[in-house]
Chain A
């Protein structure tokens, strides 16, 4: 029995079809109970695929998954049928980017939450509805009794995302997966949802994996950050370590591109180029073509993983070098 809530070891995910896409390459990741980890990366970096793999949402005919995933001691990749259904919702649950698309337009939000509770907890409808009401209260929806009978189109974007969170947490999962849950929201609403998720994580004692492309959002919600690039984790550490002492050139580039304290009008230290195509399995550093520090060794083999301390790692040959003055 390990102490980790989530253990992903050497995960490979490939999509097959007209052309093969190597979406995840040798990904290893752990999450403890009570911990919030942000998976930070740009589009195509594999962060959403990682979440979908954890929930076994990828189409089995078109995807090949190798490696091992354990959640709370359960081997996720061998689940099927009833056990998989029980795992989804009870052990692990997910909040999506577009709550308007994830909720069913023809049922009231109360019925949708109650349905999940009845299914998993085998309780009567009245009891399930009272659980639903309790959940709407916990996500701080004003006048929850009335909202229970609302249809999704009657609610604003921020309210819908609160309903999604209530639905995801209704069966008290140990692990919550959040896929860019605030990206579609306005700034003043986004911060409300981030703070709500932070409070609920503490209240429910769950583990949370939070996928985002926004480093500012990651700092607000997570204790740890794993930075993804081309289907791999290039750097991982506590949020403070990543923000104050970024070691991978890609992480540094992302921080600079946030423009948080860039002088107005100063030339940006932009990362040149674009992410690589994923049609072959990487056999050298995937970031080398865009990296200002790249040398022959970077293009010859996969970078060594530098481990400065327990649970901190950087996949770069320059990880040990002093940070160049910029």
Chain B
């Protein structure tokens, strides 16, 4: 395989290969819930609370979790679609809001959404949609760029350029959205449930395309999904979120063979077995995820955790490596000898 080229007009690398492409520190976003006769502030949804992680250059980070865990809010914060309450977003060594402007961030970071139809302007032709961002950013030859990218994502420009979004299938629309993201020559693409709405056979085609584009253009991905099989297939590392917090981060193979957080463990056990002779017998968890308005105290998972003890209700666990220097991090008192949990340090999840 040849060494990767980059998309035309990609902004030059500033931090060098060792600098993570993206660093997120202590990101927080609360949404007020208004209600009552006067529309006053009734409650607060703690959508994202103290989220920190890094994405290295060229890697794919998968983010998994159930609805309300904050994975999509995190994605939207990353590209500045909503304003953060607190925390730092550092892209290639430059701090957003400091040395890095929002406009420059969006040259480097682009996003593909789940709903392929809602994310395209129905009044623009496909060619115009793909060329639009590049034109706004003042990149040379936006139309030629759009047509070359259409070719690259498997849509013949002669057949598709003048069509409108409603005239093509869901799989084709998602290819258009990918081309549109790439038209800005980004280095990081955030894919928020980008293949979830597609039929399985079409999903496989789009996953192949994403893998090819990554290799060809040296892209870095953040891949958000609820489908663990898909995340395992495409990611180098996996980050697990629960009620606005990161509960576990690890390289794929490590987390696949050993889940360190009881929630991650439950999430993996909830996957269909695919073996008619050994079907799942017991659901790993009962009930639905709690509401992110007024989340539980201490460890937010303690209300559903079968290993929870009194320490879990009062003390907030911190995300820490399982052993010194390990890339496998978990936020659970079981892995903290000083936590006061009676089973701390023992392997009770196996």
A contact residues vs B (CB 8 Å cutoff): 42-43, 142, 156-159, 186-192, 194-195, 213-217, 219-220, 238-240, 243, 253-254, 256-260, 262, 264-265, 267-272, 274
Bound together, the chains give a CA A269 to CA B207 distance in angstroms of 11
Contact A220 B229 (CB under 8 A): no
Please give me the residue from chain A that is nearest to B168 by CB atom.
Answer: A274
Asked whether A219 lies within 8 Å of B272 as measured between CB atoms, the reply is yes
Nearest Cβ on chain A to B276's Cβ, whole angstroms: 4
Q: Which residues of A contact B207 (CB under 8 A)?
A: 268, 270
List the B side residues contacting A272 at CB < 8 Å.
205
In the bound complex, how far is the Cα of B228 from the Cα of A188, in angstroms? 12
- A258 touching B200, Cβ below 8 Å: yes
| Cα(A254)–Cα(B205), bound, Å | 12
Query: Could you say which of A188, A190, A238, A257 contacts B201, with CB atoms under 8 Å apart?
Result: A257
The answer to whether B204 touches A217, judged by C-beta atoms less than 8 angstroms apart, is no
Q: Are A271 and B204 in contact (CB under 8 A)?
A: yes
* Chain A positions within 8 Å of B229 at CB level: 258-260
Q: Is the CB of B66 within 8 A of A187?
A: yes
Residues of the A chain whose Cβ atoms lie less than 8 Å from the Cβ of B232:
259, 264
With A191-B284, A192-B283, A259-B230 as given contacts, are A270 and B276 in contact (CB-CB < 8 Å)? no
Choose among A216, A257, A259 the residue with the greatest number of B CB atoms under 10 Å from its CB.
A259
B288 part of interface (Cβ distance < 8 Å): yes
Q: Does B141 contact A (CB under 8 A)?
A: no
Are the CB atoms of B199 and A43 closer together than 8 Å?
yes
**B99 within 8 Å of A by Cβ?**
no
A258 touches B274 (CB 8 A): yes
> What is the chain B residue whose CB lies nearest that of A45?
B199
Q: Nearest B residue to A189 by beta-carbon distance?
A: B288
Taken together as a complex, chains A and B put the C-alpha atoms of A311 and B293 apart, in Å, by: 52
Please judge, given known A-B contacts A195-B283, A219-B275, A274-B169, whether A188 and B203 are in contact too, CB under 8 Å.
Answer: no
How many angstroms between the C-alpha atoms of A215 and B271 in the bound complex? 12
Query: Once the chains are docked, how many angstroms separate the CA of A245 from the CA of B284?
Result: 30
Interface size class of B (residues with CB under 8 A): 35 or more
User: Which residue of A213, A217, A267 is within 8 Å of B272 (Cβ)?
Assistant: A217
Closest to B200 in A: A257
Q: How far is the CA of A148 from the CA of B201 in the complex (A)?
A: 42
A42 to B200, CA, bound (A): 7
Q: Which residue of A lies closest to B68 (CB)?
A: A186
Q: Is the CB of B233 within 8 A of A264?
A: yes
Q: Which A residues lie within 8 Å of B279 (CB)?
A: 219-220
Find chain A residues with CB under 8 A from B226 CB.
Answer: 186-187
Once the chains bind, are A42 and B199 in contact (CB under 8 Å)? yes
- Contacts A191-B284, A258-B200 supplied; 11 other A-B pairs, CB < 8 Å: A142-B287, A188-B266, A188-B284, A188-B289, A194-B280, A195-B283, A216-B272, A216-B274, A217-B272, A220-B273, A254-B201
Specify which of A159, A195, A239 is in contact with B280 (CB 8 Å cutoff).
A195
Contact B276 A240 (CB under 8 A): yes
- In the complex formed, the residue of A with least CB distance to B211 is A265
B303 sits at the interface (CB 8 A): no
The answer to whether B66 touches A219, judged by C-beta atoms less than 8 angstroms apart, is: no
Whether a CB of chain A sits under 8 angstroms from the CB of B254 is no
A265 touches B205 (CB 8 A): no
Identify which of A191, A257, A269 contacts B270 (C-beta below 8 A). Answer: A191
Known: A256-B204, A262-B233. A191 touches B280 (CB 8 A): yes
In the complex, whether B156 has a CB less than 8 A from a CB of chain A is no
Interchain CB contact (< 8 A) of B203 among A142, A195, A257? A257
Shortest Cβ gap from B254 to chain A (Å) = 13
Smallest CB-CB separation from A242: which chain B residue?
B276
Do B286 and A186 have beta carbons less than 8 Å apart? no
CB-CB contacts of B212-236 with A at 8 A, as 1s and 0s? 0000000000000010111011100
A217-B207 Cα distance, complex, nearest whole Å: 22
> Is the CB of B137 closer than 8 A to any CB of chain A?
no
* B121 CB contacts on chain A under 8 angstroms: none
Q: Can you give 6 A-B contacts (C-beta < 8 A)?
A: A187-B66, A219-B274, A243-B276, A268-B207, A268-B208, A269-B204
A158 touches B287 (CB 8 A): yes
**Central interface residue in B67, B234, B288, by most chain A CB within 10 Å:** B288
Kindly state the separation between the CA atoms of A257 and B199 in the bound complex, as whole angstroms: 10
Q: Closest CB of chain A to B73's CB: distance in Å?
A: 16
With a CB–CB cut-off of 8 A, which chain A residues contact B273? 216, 219-220
In angstroms, Cα B288 to Cα A191, docked, is: 11
A156, B288: Cβ atoms under 8 Å? Answer: yes
On whether A186 and B199 interact (CB within 8 A), knowing A192-B283, A268-B207, the answer reads: no
* A186, A238, A260 — most chain B CB neighbours (10 Å): A186
A157 to chain B, nearest CB (A): 6
Is B171 an interface residue, CB under 8 A from the partner?
Answer: yes
